Structure 1
């Protein structure tokens, strides 16, 4: 009996030590991204702390305080403005998905907010910047239709913003970005059409050209799309359709090289951001 009691005491002591070791290990391994500690504060205090970190560009700390502000005080003017600034902090911290979801929540919950225009503008900016890596180079040989979604989302977001807030202080910048996106997306579709023409996928090339002509009017891609479409129809022996395409090209772009008998340039071009960003052309 004494042996059993002795054994049980030893087992209890060992278990307690193991439990303490596990607790210490868990505490050590459970590191937070932010080193600051948030305790119960007033809404104003939490907002001011978050704002301070945002102005210092310490994004993880700003996000931590904005989130706690939202959780502890979900209503009121600090919560409203804090939600918008939380979205901006996510954007600057390169967390695009959370930035978009936070902006969508802000737009839905605060449709009469004085800075609603900025929320719509920022949504376009998030999509725009998240796709810049793709925008540096367009190579349909390897990319084709991949990675266009953010560009299209940015296009839609800026278009929606301009329609809703034509007199906003952010509208001029949004218009320039919309021009850039229209040119970029049109250029990409043209590159894909050329790629299909090189691969003798003539119907696919024609469909891409039609999409450019219908969707990206007043861009530099339209003229070449008409030329590519005419060539694709020729290859398919659709002579009447080829003549129609050439007639439209002649009427709108009479000096196009293709009309002078020059062969189409079917090489895949590589574009830089400066090629199509209108601000870079202003000196």
Structure 2
């Protein structure tokens, strides 16, 4: 992941150096605190970046918002919008960050900071992904937002990092399907379980859950007496993961049922999964 300091340098850019210079000049002329209302934009921006350095992200967000409120047409205002969102993100105020970023993207679709805004929005969803036992709506939103980054800005560092996170997000979603499938299998609801395991095999082929999904399919099909599909699932598992514990377990199930795995025929949905791409 692109770290927060790198993001700060990217978004703050040359304006930060100018702000610090202006702020030091202001401090040298007077020791008294300048009034909060209608302060010079450079001074507000300097205070905001100082708040970030001190990890006071709530105050930083407020100060960056103040830059835009007091000086909406200045050269600082656009960057301050992104920095306010960044501060909300660092403060774990993800909803506020997403709202601010959506507003920035709508107002400045052609800005040089727009790729970063899309990326930070995706991170704001990604950081909220919970364990597989909970509703996965946020995970789906994260996957969609990460995909937007890759599609819109394919040649950026943001796209490369988003691609890695897409793989992790898909693995998380596959894990959710597996958890539900295991529950159905344990309850004897074999058709429902098969539907979940097929989803993993068909939709999440590059995830770590595929070997177990194929084993569970073998188990569920045998429980229903659908021997041909059980043999086909085990054959796909053995072809792609010949040394895995899941294939050993599946093979043992078939031996107990006095059948052997065989390659699925062209009419089987499993024939499309004969060779996985890893």
TM-score (norm: length of structure 1): 0.69
Aligned length: 218
Report the Cα distance in structure 2 between the residues aligned to 1:236 and 1:77, rounded to whole angstroms. 68
For residues 229-244 of structure 1, the aligned pairs below 5 Å read 229-244=217-232
Report the Cα distance in structure 1 between the residues aligned to 2:145 and 2:92, rounded to whole angstroms. 19
CA contact (8 A) 1:38 1:65 kept: no
1:250 alignment partner in structure 2? 238
Structure with bigger RCO (C-alpha 8 Å, 6+ apart): 1
Q: Which structure has the bigger radius of gyration? A: 1
- Alpha-carbon distance change, 88 to 191 in structure 1, aligned in 2, over 3 angstroms: same
Following superposition, the deviation at residue 169 of structure 1 comes to 2.4
Q: Superposition RMSD on alpha carbons, in Å?
A: 2.4
2:163 alignment partner in structure 1? 175
CA contact (8 A) 2:62 2:84 kept: no
- Alpha-carbon distance change, 238 to 262 in structure 1, aligned in 2, over 3 angstroms: closer
Q: 2:58 matched to 1:67?
A: no
Report the Cα distance in structure 2 between the residues aligned to 1:60 and 1:217, rounded to whole angstroms. 42
Residue 130 of structure 1 aligns to a residue in which SS? coil
1:190 alignment partner in structure 2? 178
* 1:109-145 residue CA offsets vs partner (Å, 9 max, x unmatched): 11111122211111121122222xx34xx4xxxx3xx
Q: 2:220 matched to 1:220?
A: no
1:152 to 124, 140, 147: 140
Gap regions ≥5 residues in structure 2? 1-33, 255-278
Report the Cα distance in structure 2 between the residues aligned to 1:57 and 1:241, rounded to whole angstroms. 57
- Alpha-carbon distance change, 247 to 53 in structure 1, aligned in 2, over 3 angstroms: same
For residues 241-280 of structure 1, the aligned pairs below 5 Å read 241-255=229-243, 256-261=247-252
Report the Cα distance in structure 1 between the residues aligned to 2:35 and 2:127, rounded to whole angstroms. 32
Following superposition, the deviation at residue 54 of structure 1 comes to 2.1
* 1:47-80 residue CA offsets vs partner (Å, 9 max, x unmatched): 2322222232211221221222222333443121
Report the Cα distance in structure 2 between the residues aligned to 1:242 and 1:164, rounded to whole angstroms. 42
1:95 to 93, 96, 108: 93
CA contact (8 A) 1:38 1:68 kept: no
Q: 2:75 matched to 1:84?
A: no
* 1:137-170 residue CA offsets vs partner (Å, 9 max, x unmatched): x4xxxx3xx2322222222222221222222123
Gap regions ≥5 residues in structure 1? 1-35, 264-283
1:105 alignment partner in structure 2? 103
Report the Cα distance in structure 2 between the residues aligned to 1:232 and 1:76, rounded to whole angstroms. 65
Following superposition, the deviation at residue 95 of structure 1 comes to 1.0
Residue 77 of structure 1 aligns to a residue in which SS? coil
